[in-house]
Each structure stands twice: as C-alpha cells, then as structure tokens.
C-alpha cells in the first residue's frame, strides 16, 4: 500500500509517520509513505500557491494550478503511465484515475463524508491512496472537480489544515494492513470491528487499589471469557454510544445473542425450579 500526502507542510507528515508503528512498517516495506510539497509545483517565481477568492470574503484560497500539477506528477510517477512515455500527449488526471481502479484521491475536508472504521477497511484494500491536504480557506473548486475521488472529514469540527486528519486516517487504515501490527498488537476485539466498543481489559496485578480483576478472566475457561467479553462490549456500547448500540441491535449477531440469553434464562429458571422442588421434598420428609 502506497500513501502519498500532498501538502504545504511535508515535514509535519513525515516526522509523525516515522516515529510511529507505521515507521516500522515503512522500514519493513509493508507500506510506503511520501509527502509531496505542493509548493514545488507552483509555476510562478515566488512559489506562491494561494490567492484571494473571487466574490470577496476573508482569507486566501489554494489555487488550481499547483494542486493539479502536483497530483498529475504523482500519478505519472507512480503509475509509470505507458501513454505518457509512448506519446507526447500526457493523459489528464481524470484519464489516469479512470484507468486505475485501485487508486483513490482523498480530499481531506470538513465537507466530506465522516470517516469511520468501515471506511478505513474499504481504503485498506486499495493500492494507492493520495491525500490532498488543504490550507487557508480551502482549494479552488475546479481542480477538486477534476481530481478528487473521495471527500472525507474526520468529524464535525474545523481544523487549520488537512495534515492532522490525513495522519489520523492513514493510521487507522495502515493498521488494518496485514503485517503492520505485530501479533501482540493486533486486536480482533478492537472497538468497531463488530459494531461494538471494546470490552474492558486488565493486566497484572490481580488486585490493584483494592480492585479485583473479574473472576471469570482468571478461570481459564475460554468460552466463558468470550461470553463475558461480548456481554461487557454490549453493555459498554449501550451506555457510552447509544447510536452504535441501536445499529448493532438490528444485526444478526444481536439476534443470536438474544437467543443465547433466552436459552440461558430458561436453563437458570429450570435449575431454580428443580432446586425449589428438592427443597420442598426435603421439607416433606422431615
């Protein structure tokens, strides 16, 4: 998987990626990441990339030309575009993207679809992700129309630029790529993997500040532990994220859980009745 981040602050991206788990994955060659400075593609001698907005209003806008040329260069390099070599007619960004199913250009913007685990999973199956990070008041609409495949936000709040959102998304996507997380780090019980929040976890010591680790976790009964964890996940999701819980309740997994709970309830009732009957018989004998 190749990540290309088009930005005015390349050091902000690379410093962060190098010092994380992703840095190790880059060293191992499982992923590659490159920050490309949009300013290098400005065709004016001052290398300026922004200008006032038509129609007035505060703030500056990133101009179409440097952004377009930057994306064009990245796609030409990464695809080794055959036509660019065979003839003088260089294909447009749109033409290159139409020919590459597994390349996406993500414009990081509060006006996009809100990023979630399902999107992270979808993007983790792509070969090349190009993140376009805006600054100032945004980017000229015309270049976005010609280059962007996905508009993605990380939440309903506004940041000063797209670099932090791009890093957030890259982290969430990359950790899903096989080999990026070591086996001790990978967690199939991750929050959101099954539409629920993760269950509470405990490590040594078994008693800390007078608080005991739940007994079931020390029992060595794997099936019981799994059941307890699912139960805790459901409870926690209901308490902390009622929106997620409402969606989970409609799933097949939830139907199965309810069935299992019902079976358990009946079994417990039966046991209680049996015990009551036994006690009754014992009393009659006395």
Binding site for ligand ADE (CB under 6 A): 108-110, 153-155, 157-159, 162, 165
Closer CB to ligand ADE, 91 or 165, in the complex: 165
Active site residue 175: yes
Active site residue 190: yes
Return d(Cα 284, Cα 230) in angstroms, integer: 43
Considering Cα of 82, then 85, then 89, then 90, what sign does the dihedral take?
positive
Q: Smallest distance, Å, CB 261 to ligand ADE?
A: 39
Q: Smallest distance, Å, CB 110 to ligand ADE?
A: 4
Token pair listed for 89: 């007619």
DSSP 125-175: T-SEEEEEE--TT-B-HHHHHHH-SEEEESSSS--S-SHHHHHHHHHHHHT
Return d(Cα 78, Cα 60) in angstroms, integer: 31
Peptide bond into 191 cis (omega under 30): no
Closer CB to ligand ADE, 66 or 134, in the complex: 134
Q: Smallest distance, Å, CB 107 to ligand ADE?
A: 8
Active site residue: 69, 99, 122, 137, which one?
137
Q: Please list the alpha-helical segments (H only) found in 48-151.
A: 64-79, 82-86, 93-99, 117-123, 141-147
Q: Among residues 113, 175, 120, which one has the least CA distance to residue 149? A: 113
Active site residue: 190, 198, 227, 249, which one?
190
Exposure string of 158-183, with b = 16+ CB inside 10 Å and e = fewer, is eeebbbbbbbebbbbbbbbeeebbee
Closer CB to ligand ADE, 91 or 134, in the complex: 134
Q: Smallest distance, Å, CB 43 to ligand ADE?
A: 26
Q: Smallest distance, Å, CB 161 to ligand ADE?
A: 6
Closer CB to ligand ADE, 167 or 180, in the complex: 167
Active site residue 110: yes
Residue 160, CB half-sphere, CA atoms under 13 Å: how many? 2
Active site residue 128: no
Residues 6+ apart with CB under 8 A from 116: 192
Contact 169, 123 (CB under 8 A): yes
Closer CB to ligand ADE, 103 or 153, in the complex: 153
Catalogue the active-site residues: 110, 137, 175, 190
């Amino acid at each position: 998987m190749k990540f290309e981040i088009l930005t005015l602050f390349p050091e902000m991206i690379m410093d962060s990626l190098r010092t994380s788990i992703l840095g190790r994955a880059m060293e191992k060659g499982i992923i590659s990441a490159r920050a490309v400075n949009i300013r290098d593609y400005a065709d004016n001698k001052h290398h300026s990339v922004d200008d006032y907005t038509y129609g007035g209003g505060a703030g500056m806008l990133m101009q179409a030309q440097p952004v377009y040329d930057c994306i064009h260069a990245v796609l030409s390099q990464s695809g080794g575009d055959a036509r660019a070599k065979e003839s003088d007619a260089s294909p447009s960004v749109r033409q290159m993207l139409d020919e590459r199913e597994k390349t996406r250009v993500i414009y990081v913007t509060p006006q996009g679809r809100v990023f979630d685990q399902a999107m992270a999973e979808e993007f983790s199956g792509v070969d090349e992700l190009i993140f376009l990070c805006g600054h100032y008041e945004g980017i000229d609409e015309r270049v976005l129309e010609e280059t962007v495949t996905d508009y993605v936000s990380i939440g309903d709040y506004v940041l000063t630029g797209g670099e932090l959102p791009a890093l957030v998304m890259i982290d969430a996507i990359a950790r899903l790529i096989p080999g990026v997380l070591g086996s001790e780090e990978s967690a199939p019980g991750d929050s959101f993997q099954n539409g629920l929040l993760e269950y509470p976890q405990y490590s040594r010591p078994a008693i800390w500040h007078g608080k005991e680790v739940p007994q079931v976790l020390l029992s060595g009964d794997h099936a019981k532990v799994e059941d307890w964890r699912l139960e805790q996940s459901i409870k926690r999701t209901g308490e902390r994220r009622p929106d997620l819980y409402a969606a989970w309740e409609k799933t097949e997994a939830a139907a199965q859980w309810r069935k299992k709970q019902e079976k358990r309830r009946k079994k417990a009732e039966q046991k209680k009745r049996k015990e009551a009957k036994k006690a009754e018989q014992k009393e009659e004998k006395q």
